[in-house]
Every structure is written in structure tokens, then in C-alpha cells.
Amino acid sequence: GQNIDQPTEMTATEGAIVQINCTYQTSGFNGLFWYQQHAGEAPTFLSYNVLDGLEEKGRFSSFLSRSKGYSYLLLKELQMKDSASYLCAVRETSGGYNKLIFGAGTRLAVHP
Amino acid sequence: DVKVTQSSRYLVKRTGEKVFLECVQDMDHENMFWYRQDPGLGLRLIYFSYDVKMKEKGDIPEGYSVSREKKERFSLILESASTNQTSMYLCAIQRGLAGVGQYFGPGTRLTVT
């Protein structure tokens, strides 16, 4: 079956670093995505990992270990505007089609 | 810029009504998806389409149907709305079968009373 776990809520201080973890169990793994979603808005694509290792994109980095079924999103130099939900999603290939399976999301609150 | 539009941001319907949610894209992407998002459950896939007149069931298709008569438009239909279909509905598009990332529309918050 499919199972994606991430913490429900996290808090952090402006200027700090925060790591949001995601663990997954799925068949037909074909990539892992992170999305950011501000309250009342649509999710926006942040990062994509298909091979093990770290992908860096500015203040945001994402790490994947396929053998451990584990990923994290690292946010550096936190800003108030980073307060949002962060969604971990696994792309699964099944029946010749690709589907995204989403975790419930981690709500991050950044405080001054 | 990728543009995905949905027909309404907020919608209130009565139990038993037939409801149409429209999604239109201007990116000529083949793949379109309908999700619903509920607190604590995340996004769940209702239906998707990889081509005109083609549809595939997602993880929670019960109570829904879809229509894709033109490449740019993907409609979600609630045949007889029920209160447990009160949710945020999100449309997404993706380029190709292995496209990196899906792009989402602004969402429709549907309330069924």
C-alpha cells in the first residue's frame, strides 16, 4: 500500500534553518516532489528528487534516500514568508501511468 | 507563465444537485488531474486524463465523473452532490508522462449544504 508520513506542524525562528522530514512506503517509486502551499492558495512546485542525494535550489534543498524511503526539505535563512504548508509527494508508476501520492503536509510557522 | 484556471473560487450547492467544476489550461499539456484536499488527509486523486476523451480513475473516484472533450478543458462532475463532498477541489496539469512537477489551479472551495 501507499503511506507517506510527515510531521503535522513545525515552528521555527526567522533566520534559522529548519528540516522537514518525509518517510514513504510505496511500490513503483518514480521520484519525490516537494510543494509549498500558502493558506488559501494552490500548491507550487519546489523541488524534485529521483536519484539519491541532495538537490540545492537557493535557500531550499531536498534530499532523498531511496533505500530508506526517506526525504527531507531543508529551508535556510528562514523568512516570514516561508510560513506555509509543505507537501511531500511521491510519484508512483502503476499500470503504465504516473500518479502523485501526497502526504498530509507539514504546516510551518516562522516567528520573528 | 503556466496558466491553469478554475471556473469558481467558491461554490455553495445543495444536497442532490449536479455540480460541474471546470478546469482550463493554456499550456497545451496532455495530462490533467483532479484532486480534493481535506485537512489532515492531504491531496487525494479523484480522476486524471492523459489525452482527449481519455480518463482514468484515481484513488477516490466514487461519486464523481469527468469529461475531457478538448485538450485544454477537464471537467469534474458531481452527479448528486452530498455533504461529504464539501472540500477544496484542485485541478493540476503536467507536461508528458514523466513531466517534472504538476502545476495547480487556484482551487474551488465547494460547500454542499
Write out pLDDT tens, residues A80-112: 999 999 999 999 887 777 888 999 999 999 999
The Cα of A101 is separated from the nearest Cα of chain B by a number of Å equal to 7
Rounded to an integer, what distance in angstroms lies between the CA atom of residue A48 and that of residue A90?
A: 10
Hey, are the CB atoms on B100 and A48 less than 8 Å from each other?
yes
Task: Report the amino acid identity of residue B35.
Answer: Y
Q: Is B52 on the interface with A (CB under 8 A)?
A: no
Collect all residues with Cβ–Cβ distance below 8 Å to A15 and sequence separation of at least 6: A77, A78
Cell output for A46: 519546489
- The closest of B26, B32, B29 to B47, measured between CA atoms, is B32
- The CA distance from B41 to the nearest CA of chain A, in Å, is 5
Mean pLDDT value across residues B82-98: 89
Confidence grade of residue B98 (pLDDT, cut at 50, 70, 90): low
Asked if A90 is an interface residue toward chain B (Cβ–Cβ < 8 A), one would say no
Place of cell 465547494: B110
Amino acid identity at A25:
Q
* pLDDT tens per residue, range A22-78: 999 988 898 999 999 999 899 999 999 999 999 998 999 999 999 999 999 999 999
- Of A20-24, B70-74, B96-100, the poorest mean pLDDT is in B96-100
User: B73: Cβ–Cβ under 8 A, 6 or more apart, which residues?
Assistant: B22, B23, B24
At residue B13, what is the residue type? K
pLDDT reading at B99 higher than 70: no
